[in-house]
Each structure stands twice: as C-alpha cells, then as structure tokens.
Structure 1
Amino acid sequence: TTPYVNAFQDTPDKGFGQFFESPRFATGYTSLFNTIGFVVETHMLKKYADRVKVTYEYMLSAIDFTDANYKKIKQLRLKNEEQYQPKKAYTIKWEIDSTKTVPFSFLGYEAGYKKSDVTSGNRLFYDRTKPFKKDIPYSKEFKSVKNIIIPEAYIIPKGFWPVIDLLKSNTITYTQLKNDTIIEVESYRIADFKTTNSAYEGHYLHRNTSVTSKTEKMAFAKGDYVIPTQQKGIKYLLETLEPEAIDSFFNWNFFDTMLQQKEGYSDYVFEDSATQILKENQKLKAEFDLKKQSDVNFINNPEAQLDWIYKHSIYYEKAHLHYPVYRILK
C-alpha cells in the first residue's frame, strides 16, 4: 500500500505531503472517537478486477490485524483519551512540516506533456512503457500552529436545535439548567473570517477564522445545555464547538445568523452623537486618535471612522459577531 498521493500542482515523482484528514472526512471523523478508520483507493490505471481483489484483501488484512492486536489497540485508545483533560492544550490547527521529510519508495510512470486533441493547450500524460521505481521526499509530519485550552464544559443556548441535534446524534452527554442563572464564562467574538466563493457540500464554508475572548458573567436560561468535556466525545466537541477549528460548526454555517448586523445609523444623525461619545470618553478618544495616526486607510476613510465609534458605543448590537457557545473554565 501507499499513502494517498497528495500531488496536485506537480507530478508525484517530485515528492508530496501527507493528506490532512480533517473531521469532514470519514477517517478524520472516526479519529475523533479514537476509532481506526481507513479509505481504500485503488488506482485508475489498474485493471478493475485487480482493484476489487486488492480492496478485499486489504479488508481481510485489517480484520486479521485488529483481531490479533485488539488488547494493544484497547490500551492505546485508553492512553490516548487520558491526555485530553481540562486546562491542557489541544491543537485545533495543523500544517504540514516541510522541514521533515523521509525517503519514500515510489512506483510510477514517467510523465510528459503533449498537445491536447481537445483544447488549445498541452496535456499531461503518463508513459506506461516507462515505469520507474525511485525514492521521493515524503512529508508525513504535521506541526501545531494553533492551540486552545480545554474547558471544563461548554454552554449552548437551547435555541440552537440543529447543533444540539448533532451532538445528540454523536452520543454527547449533557445536562440542562434547571433554573435561570448567572455563570462566569469565557466568551468569543469573531474577529475575522473568510468565506469561499463557491459551494462545497451544500455550504459556503468559512475559513481562516480568528476570535477574541473575554471572561464575563452572563445570564443563562432554564433549559440551556451544559456539556462537560470529560466524556468519550471530547475531541468531537473541541473540533466542532471551537470556531477556529477547520471543521467547526461555525465554519460550516451553523451560526451564520450572528454575522448579520441588523441595526445601524444615519451619518447625519450619528455625527452629533459621535462627537458627544468622544467628549465623554477620553480613553476611547485616545484609542480613536491612535488608530488615525497608525492606520493610513483609516484616516482617509470618514465612513470607517464613524463606524468605528459606533461599534465602540452602547448603541452597537451585542449579538453581532458574538459567538453563542460559551466556555466554563473552572
């Protein structure tokens, strides 16, 4: 067997990196529950009968291996689960470590380009009369680029039914508040994100999401969900409820209602209010003046300046960009 040939910009004989199987993929999903997962992909250049046979043989081998090593597998699963504890770090963003490569013995065919019979350009082809075997560089290690601290629990308001239903479908355990109450939590605000221009699996995914956070006491209602992290599905919780994680519920559009700013202002009306706001809040005025000095685009954009003051005033709606999943840290 060979790892997935993750080569899109060039031919694979130049080397390639391991494919990142995030939770959206079957194998990435099973790993959230410390379960072995694999996808067998046989090559299109092989005969169909050979492809069926090798898939069958692989499945038999996998069954034989797990049967012979089930005790060791159970021990490793338990050991893996022990590392996910509150107050410990958990990586939610990875990238390939291109500084660490290993030689990989690769069987392939020499590649070339020839004039296309269909388009006006050249097309790639593999010459099956020129097979080769060579060692190529393979990057199989990832490095952490973003960590979060695991909370004791998450709180989700009871109105987010689609999210709650998915948690239930994944056997996540929870309790519900019996009374209205005030709890000290860490809350997130979406600082930045990008959205794809084309649909993917029925969604316009967000990416490169970043947040700011603060600790505050907030009012929660009877029936809101409290979800402890110390359970079998802890990695599922972290990968879906942390908005910066690649396949978070936020990135998959489950919280898009918070992205719409519904309230605004009329410039000619708010101008006078803005003057009064800065006059009464010298700290805010100092921040405003500093931004004008340090940001060339800002100083040349009166609309952006007025908007900045509005978003730092009591008139700005609190729900805008306020991520409605909260973290209990202690």
Structure 2
Amino acid sequence: MRITLLTISLLTFISCNTSEKKTAENTNFTTVFEKSGGTETPTYPEVISYYQNLAETYQEIDIQEIGMTDSGNPLHIVTLNPDKVFDFKKIRKTKRILLINNGIHPGESDGIDATMLLFRDIAKGTFEAPKNTVLTTIPIYNIGGALNRNTGTRTNQNGPKTYGFRGNARNYDLNRDFIKNDTKNAQTFAKIFHLVQPDVFIDNHVSNGADYQYTLTHLFTQHNKLNGALGDYLHNEMHPQLEASLRTKNWDITPYVNVWGTTPDKGWTQFMDSPRYSTGYTTLWNTLGVMVETHMLKPYKPRVEGTYELMKSMINITEKDGEKIRSLREQAFADLPKQNTYPVNWTVDTTKISTFSFKGYEGAYINSKITGAKRLKYDQNKPYSKEVRYQNYFKPTTEIEVPTAYIIPKGWWSVIDKLDLNQISYKTLEKDSTISVELYHIKEYKSRKMPYEGHYLHYSTTVEKGTETITFKKGDIIIPTDQKGFRYLIDTLEPEAPDSFFNWNFFDTILQQKEGFSPYVWEDKALELLKHDEKLKQKFEEKKKDTAFAKNWFAQLDWIHKQSDNYEKAHMRYPVYRVLK
C-alpha cells in the first residue's frame, strides 16, 4: 500500500487521539449513579467497562478474569495498589489485603456503586491512597442476577430505579452457597479467596426487617468463633473503631438489627454467620469479616454514600492496625491445631449482655385494612433513643475432640473435590494400609420438610462413636488437621457442625439401607442365632421389656438382624474416619 502524506497525518491523528482517551484528564469517570443524581445503578456490562477503563487509565489498577459463573460469564477481580504490583504472593510480604465483595444480591446494589466511586477517587488522588493496604474487589459477584434486571422484586426497598435479582442464573441464593459450592460462582469465589488470602473482608448488602433511624448497620462475624486474641481484637478494637470513625463523619451506625415481625426496642440477638454465608466462610481462615447492611427504606443516594464512608473507615483501620492484624492471624493459624477440643455448635450466652443507645421509631399493632388482623405499623414521626439489650456473646454447646487426621475413602470424590477447591493438603495412600481409627455412626438427625437452596438440609445431628481397625485402600486420602484449613476441615467433616457436608446431604447414601431380609427366611436364622449367642438372647429379652417393642414383631426381627453379621456395615456409618492423637 502506498502511504501518502495524508495517510501519515491521519494515522498520527488517530494515534494521538487514542493516547488522549487513555489519559485521566480526557476520560470521563462520572458514574451512572452520579449522572442520575443518586437514583440509578449501572448494568453489569457498564460496571465491567468502567473498571476496564480505569485499569487502562491508571497503572495502579488491574482487572483480571478468574473462573466462571453459572451465567456463563467470568468473574472479575479489580485490584488497586499504588505500587503497581499485582502478584498476591509478593503483596502479602509487605502489605495487608482488604477484599470487597459486591452484588451477591444484585438488587442490593449500594456496594457496587460505592466501590466504583472509591476506586476512582483513590486513583484520582481525591484522598490519599493507603500505603500499606491493597484493595481488591469483585465488582458484581452474582452476574446472572445482575443481568436479570427489574423494578419490583425488592418490595421493601427505596431505590434504585432498576436493579438485579437475588437468585443467580440457576436461582441460587449465593449467600447460602459458600461452604457447599453448588454453583460455579461459589467455586470461583473459593479460587479468588485462596489467591487473594485477604486479611479483612467486606460484603456489601441492604437490609430487610425492622424500621429505624439508621442508614448504616454492620454485621461483624461472631467474635467468639474467632477464638482468643483475634476475636478479642475484632470485638474490642475493630468494631468500636469503625463506629467511632463513622461518628466523626456524622454517620450513625448500629449493629445489624436482627429483628423480624416485631419492634427492636427490647433488643435482639446477633446474627450468627455460619460457613454457608460469606463472612462465616472467610472466617474459617481467620479473615476478619464484616457485612454492611444499609437500611432498605432510606433513599438510595445516602445508602451509597454511607457504604462509601464505611469502606474508607475500614481501610483506615486496616492501614493503622495492619501489623497487629497480621500478627494475630498468624498466631491463630499456629494455635488452632494445637487445641484438644473444638466447638462445632453454639448458643447464645445469656449471662453476657451488651447495651447501647438505639435510635428507632415507635411501632404499634393496628388493625389491617386488608385482612382485619393486627399488623405492625412504624411511625417515623415518633423517633426515640432507648437503651437496648444486644446479645452478642455465644458459647459452645457441642465440642469435638480434635483428631490428628481424617481419612476419606477415594470413592467420595465429590467431597475430595471440595477439599481441593479449598486448597486442603492431604496425602494419598500409596498402598493398602491397616489403621486404627475412631468412627461415627449417625444416631439421630432431622431434615427440612421443604427444599432449601437445592437441598433438604439436615440439622440436630448426633453421632455414636466407636473404634475399629480398618484396611484402607490405595488411593484413599489422609488429611492432617495441622494446616491452615483446620477450621474448614472440622466445620465440614464433623457431622454435628451445622454446615457440615453431612448436613448438606453429601453423604445421604449411607442413610438408606441397601440390603434387607424376608421375614419368613430370617425367622429361622434369627432363632438359630439366639440359640447360640446367650448374651444376644439376654439383650433381646431385656429389649422386649419395652411394650411397644414387644408388640412389634418386625421391629424385633429387625433388631436381631442389626446385631448380626448379615447387617451391612455401611448403613448409617459415616465414611469419614478420625485418627486420634
């Protein structure tokens, strides 16, 4: 092609023009939220395009795709580091990392907009960038829900005009999926979390529930679960610092108001975030977690602005206390595996109560004009400030003896895949090996009558213990508990833990007996068994003192069958074995 002077001039113009578009001075980073006067939130493509443009303009910002979601779109993480280093292994050597998750429920879009503003303002130098803290965000976690925009499903919420839907592309509530990993979103989150390994985690939400004066509420992970010094720091230092910092900026904040169907003036109990929830999951690796809950009835603009200020305050706390946070987390990783026991179930400790002044609205029960029944009505013309009781201390109800290791037969690959996803270390048996172990039989459990997030979740599970010498097969895995995933292992592999893999139905095949007996055949064999086993016969006669048992012929035959070698060992036997210290 012949290049003319005109062509050269045109190419020069295009080159200069492209360069100008990538400079901060010539790029418009005014958000949809700002353009709309605080009434609208951007679409998913607009959010990603915004961050891509930021990354192209500011070398301090990096955006990358990691993994897939159920929507068929990849998750992105955006990282802001003034040092322009985006290798997390290198970052962790000198800095602390704060991970911000947005749009897990895309109708609760406050954090999406607040984080866009936050990253832009730091990059532009609107306020000083943190020197010792690196920020990473997932711009929108529930992409499928974000693409499913509507104007009505957040029935209780005051703006924005349009927003995403709570369920993801497969209609999962992603804030119930962190431990079970049913969705590609949750599987990718695990990859991101273990890549980033944050010291502090923020998940931005909008509340439902009671009415009150506050725009901002916070839900810190339950401090008793963190054990010792790390929990004490969260409860006695980080939590008060956040509230104090926001007060200096004229932002009132209160603990998340965990009240439903009544008024909060008599107080409430802290929400207990088990590992199905984001902060419950991240806490398994001693990450300090806080869920932001703005109030649904407040206008959208102040909700976004409050979320923005809260994140700035958390950055400042992390910046100031970074070395302490690092030290406390490392100490927790070192100390936890040394424990002889570990709590897997908790209840409210009613002997310890926190009190504080709460700003609410008077509420009353009046006659409904629709149903004629009594209905709750708040009167925002009657604000009050009252001392309330806040139950934010919990104590263990079930504790297990910590094993040296767990053993899982290789056939339970679906569970082993989850361990791999969460970077759990284990050894694979290179040959058949005979090992003395403690084993569980499932004694009792209850199940939900209705499906819950794709499962009929078990609860109130109890076990019976036994010991046995078992020959495990080549390829079975031994998982030492002395590792960073200590808490994850116990919370998933101990059946009595509320979010254990057993309670999430991953071992349900052991609950069904595969072989039985025909009574007319077993009658004769059972009689012979009783004739030749005097101890069994005595136990049987003792059992028949139970009138109901004595009147149930099948129950009697079944009981004898379960005491015999004919009864299958797999029934109700939990296939995760414990090597004791």
Give TM class, smaller chain: over 0.9
Q: Which residue of 1 aligns with 2:565?
A: 314
User: Per-residue CA shift, 1:194-223, capped at 9, x if unaligned?
Assistant: 110111111110001111111111011111
User: Per-residue CA shift, 1:296-318, capped at 9, x if unaligned?
Assistant: 43233222222111111111111
Q: Distance in 1 between matches of 2:556 and 2:261?
A: 43
Q: Distance in 1 between matches of 2:518 and 2:260?
A: 50
Q: Distance in 2 between matches of 1:128 and 1:117?
A: 20
Contact persistence 1:152–1:228 (CA under 8 A): yes
Q: Distance in 2 between matches of 1:163 and 1:17?
A: 34
Contact persistence 1:101–1:140 (CA under 8 A): yes
Q: CA deviation at 1:226?
A: 1.1
Q: Which residue of 1 aligns with 2:544?
A: 292
Contact persistence 1:156–1:225 (CA under 8 A): yes
Q: CA deviation at 1:81?
A: 2.3
In the alignment, does 2:572 pair up with 1:329?
A: no
In the alignment, does 2:511 pair up with 1:278?
A: no
Contact persistence 1:209–1:243 (CA under 8 A): yes
Higher mean C-alpha displacement, 74-83 vs 55-64: 74-83
Aligned ranges 1:159-170 → 2 under 5 Å: 159-170=411-422
- Count residues with an aligned counterpart: 329
Contact persistence 1:22–1:246 (CA under 8 A): yes
Q: Which residue of 1 aligns with 2:325?
A: 73
Q: Which residue of 2 aligns with 1:301?
A: 552
After TM superposition, the score normalised by the length of structure 2 is 0.55
Q: Distance in 2 between matches of 1:234 and 1:92?
A: 13
Contact persistence 1:194–1:207 (CA under 8 A): yes
Q: Which residue of 2 aligns with 1:252?
A: 504
Higher strand share: 1
Q: Which residue of 2 aligns with 1:232?
A: 484
- For the residue of structure 2 that corresponds to 1:22, the secondary structure is coil
Aligned ranges 1:166-245 → 2 under 5 Å: 166-245=418-497
Q: CA deviation at 1:120?
A: 3.9
**Residues 11, 283 of structure 1: alpha-carbon distance in 2 compared, 3 angstrom cutoff:** farther
Q: CA deviation at 1:87?
A: 6.2
Aligned counterpart in structure 2 of residue 8 of structure 1, from 260, 267, 270 = 260
In the alignment, does 2:281 pair up with 1:29?
A: yes
Q: Which amino acid aligns with 1:23?
A: P
User: Per-residue CA shift, 1:165-221, capped at 9, x if unaligned?
Assistant: 111111111110001111111111111111101111111100011111111110111
Q: Which amino acid aligns with 1:178?
A: E
Q: Which amino acid aligns with 1:308?
A: W
Q: Which amino acid aligns with 1:238?
A: I
Q: Which amino acid aligns with 1:290?
A: E
Higher mean C-alpha displacement, 228-237 vs 275-284: 275-284
Q: Distance in 2 between matches of 1:203 and 1:120?
A: 37
Q: Distance in 2 between matches of 1:180 and 1:254?
A: 25
- For the residue of structure 2 that corresponds to 1:85, the secondary structure is helix
Q: Distance in 1 between matches of 2:509 and 2:353?
A: 44
- For the residue of structure 2 that corresponds to 1:5, the secondary structure is coil
**Residues 285, 86 of structure 1: alpha-carbon distance in 2 compared, 3 angstrom cutoff:** farther
Contact persistence 2:266–2:389 (CA under 8 A): yes
Q: Which residue of 2 aligns with 1:82?
A: 334
Q: Which residue of 1 aligns with 2:375?
A: 123
- For the residue of structure 2 that corresponds to 1:172, the secondary structure is coil
- For the residue of structure 2 that corresponds to 1:84, the secondary structure is helix
Higher helix share: 2
**Residues 48, 87 of structure 1: alpha-carbon distance in 2 compared, 3 angstrom cutoff:** closer
CA RMSD of aligned residues (A): 1.4
Q: Distance in 2 between matches of 1:86 and 1:209?
A: 26
Listed as ranges, the gaps of 5+ residues in structure 1 are none
Greater RCO, CA 8 A, separation 6+: 1
Q: Distance in 2 between matches of 1:303 and 1:178?
A: 45
**Residues 87, 129 of structure 1: alpha-carbon distance in 2 compared, 3 angstrom cutoff:** closer
Aligned counterpart in structure 2 of residue 157 of structure 1, from 375, 391, 409 = 409
Q: Which amino acid aligns with 1:306?
A: L
- For the residue of structure 1 that corresponds to 2:569, the secondary structure is coil
**Residues 102, 87 of structure 1: alpha-carbon distance in 2 compared, 3 angstrom cutoff:** closer
Contact persistence 2:337–2:486 (CA under 8 A): no
Question: Greater Rg, structure 1 or structure 2?
Answer: 2
Q: Distance in 2 between matches of 1:6 and 1:82?
A: 34
Q: Which residue of 2 aligns with 1:63?
A: 315
Q: CA deviation at 1:160?
A: 1.4
Q: Distance in 1 between matches of 2:562 and 2:552?
A: 16
- For the residue of structure 1 that corresponds to 2:289, the secondary structure is coil
Q: Which residue of 1 aligns with 2:389?
A: 137
Q: CA deviation at 1:68?
A: 0.9
Contact persistence 2:261–2:376 (CA under 8 A): no
Q: Which amino acid aligns with 2:285?
A: F
Contact persistence 2:435–2:470 (CA under 8 A): yes
Q: Distance in 2 between matches of 1:74 and 1:286?
A: 62
Listed as ranges, the gaps of 5+ residues in structure 2 are 1-252
Q: CA deviation at 1:230?
A: 0.7
Q: Distance in 1 between matches of 2:339 and 2:540?
A: 36
After TM superposition, the score normalised by the length of structure 1 is 0.96
Contact persistence 2:262–2:376 (CA under 8 A): no
